Chain A
Amino acid sequence: MTTAAQAAPLVVAEGLVKRFGELAAVDGINFSIAPGEVVGFLGPNGAGKTTTIRMLSCNSPRTGGRLDVFGLDVARHPREIKAQLGVVPQDNNYDPDLSVFENLLVYARYFGIPRRVARQRAGELLGFVHLSDKSAERVDELSGGMKRRLILARGLINTPRLLVLDEPTTGLDPQARRLIWERLRELRQRGVTIIITTHYMDEAEQICDRLLIIDNGRVIATGSPPALIAEHAGQEVLEVVPEGGASGALEAALGECRFQKLGDKFEVFASDCPEALGRIRKQARLTSYSVRRATLEDVFIRLTGRELRD
């Protein structure tokens, strides 16, 4: 059963366009995000993820289309939107001239949060991101993971309805990443809607309810991680390395099967052509083959190609 309040989306983008001169960084994106969802934006560098997020945070005027956050137009109500928005940007733009605690207090002031409330919230948030004992320290002295957690705490100082994170765990060690994931899951349980961009497929699979795969400024696929894998990569991937000169024969054996080549290795999406396995087994000159579960990375590479993006 869906009530009207539940159905009203928190973010709606329709035909959203952002041009920088000739270049269309965002080229007609459509999506809508429901309250409580955790949505991941996946895409190669330059796909338009960060540009979309910057438009969403009301700091980059759109060229065309519609973009509403909390039912408000981003161009006409930036202050109202930003008051309820939490942002964790790609760069750690903490204030190096201030202590950890002051970073939160000063940021709270930008939102007009009364001093007493700000002090209380800053204390709670430092506990939430495990930084309570660093409160008085200078930010420059923190480790990379701690800095990132401070930025996360700062993004929560106004108890936002929507939290937007641009590559929140890039460059962190596995422990630090896990701590951030855990905190994000807890926020989701509290009903905070989350938008996250990432290059890490495990991150996308771990924390996102739904993914938008973006390339060349467009949404090219959307769905939950398991649904995307099932649709675009199937259950299993067969990895085959043919012996020298046998790749032609292998390609013939594959027939209609979907596959991609990585150097001399063939990755065959075997689920939609089970008979391929049998045919390949019969190929005498195959040195090795193995079967593994299809992953989100298979989907990503299939959809966005393998050439390098910068």
Chain B
Amino acid sequence: MRRFFPALSLRLWRVWHRNFIVFRRSFLVNFLLPMGEPILYLVAMGYGLGVFIREIDGMPYARFIGPGLVSVAMMYAAFFECTYSSFIRMIFQRTFDAIIATPVNVEEVVAGEIFWGATRAAINSLMVYLVVVLFGLGPWWLLPLVPVFGFVCGVLFASLGMIATALVPSIDFFNYPIFLFITPMFLFSGTFFPLSTLPKAVQAVSYAALPLTHVVRINRGLILGHFSPAPLGSLAWILVVGAAAFFTAIALMKRRLIK
């Protein structure tokens, strides 16, 4: 990292820490709120809709969507933190301008924001998985592993969000990446139904271009205990695309902030 980005130092954690202090203030709300949505989904879809579905891939519907909800939490937490929240800090609060007047530089501000977004993904996915465990739909021993994987996936989704933040002219423009990218991912990444029901061409696109597809694949394999080497390819995909998105986000934000 230092070789390609000599400007990046551990000072980036000071930026992370600033966000952590703010987060800590409404600690309880921030921890409990992410649990609400999966409970609603599990009850409404898992047990409501699930009555009509009976079985999907040989298991009750609620068990099938559990890993999907954990994956969606990883995506939403990181992406929204590094779009709306980062944009507000950058444009409306001018927090980034204040920070880069100190020995912390733009690269570190952006990296700190991305790692903070990834931390949100880790926290939220952990809380969602806790619900999944409480409903008896996943093993408890995965609890420490979920936030680790959530952080890794979070870096990818936070970086994608940060790329959007570097490019949008105003806050309303986030509707485009959400409508064109995030919502399709929410629906077509194997979250609520198996990808195999879709035409081959759509499946191919899903694997090639939708990060959430790979995240769901790994989460489902782990949580449902279907161990196979196939998800390793997905892990490689997440790491490679995540790293590329991370450095792209830094370069684009630098272009936006330094004039």
Contacts and interface: CB of A to CB of B under 8 A. Distances in A.
Interface string A89-116: 1010111111000100011011110000
A89 B101 contact: yes
B22 A82 contact: no
A288 interface: no
Interface stretch (A5-13, A57-65, A179-187): A57-65
A95 B93 contact: yes
B97 A61 contact: no
Interface in A139-163: 154, 158
Contact of B97 (A85, A89, A96, A106): A89
A83 interface: yes
Contacts of B100: 59
Contacts of B103: 79, 82-83, 110-112
Nearest to A84: B103
A89 B25 CA distance: 28
A204 interface: no
Interface string B155-181: 000000000000000000000000000
B259 A97 contact: no
Given A59-B100, A110-B14, A98 B93 contact: no
B94 A57 contact: no
A112 B94 contact: no
B95 interface: yes
Contact of A96 (B17, B93, B259): B93
B97 A95 contact: no
Contacts, number: 62
B94 A110 contact: no
A78 interface: yes
Contact of B17 (A82, A83, A107, A109): A109
Contacts of A79: 103, 105
Nearest to A54: B259
A63 B64 CA distance: 59
B21 A93 contact: no
A79 B8 CA distance: 12
A110 B99 contact: yes
A79 B101 CA distance: 10
Nearest to A97: B22
Contact of A93 (B11, B18, B22, B97): B97
Interface residues of B, number: 21
A60 B97 CA distance: 11
B94 A106 contact: no
B29 interface: no
A233 interface: no
Contacts of A111: 102-103
A60 B11 CA distance: 20
Given A78-B105, A79-B105, A93-B98, A60 B258 contact: yes
B104 interface: yes
A239 B104 CA distance: 54
Contacts of B21: 98, 102, 106
A110 to B, nearest CB: 4
A112 B11 contact: yes
Contacts of A85: 101
Interface string A257-268: 000000000000
Given A93-B94, A109-B14, A109-B17, A98 B22 contact: yes
A83 B101 CA distance: 9
Contacts of B105: 78-79
A59 B94 CA distance: 14
B93 A93 contact: yes
A61 B255 CA distance: 12
Contacts of B94: 89, 91, 93
B258 A59 contact: yes
Nearest to A105: B21
Contacts of A20: 259
A74 to B, nearest CB: 13
A78 B104 CA distance: 10
B258 A93 contact: no
A87 interface: yes
B95 A93 contact: yes
A95 B258 contact: no
Nearest to B23: A97
Which A-B residue pairs are the 5 nearest by beta carbons? A93-B94, A110-B102, A87-B101, A97-B22, A93-B98
Interface of A: 20, 57, 59-61, 78-79, 82-83, 85, 87, 89, 91, 93-98, 102, 106-107, 109-112, 154, 158
Given A102-B21, A111-B103, 9 more contacts: A60-B259, A61-B258, A79-B105, A82-B103, A89-B98, A91-B94, A93-B98, A97-B25, A112-B14
7 contacts: A79-B105, A91-B94, A93-B93, A93-B94, A95-B95, A109-B14, A109-B18
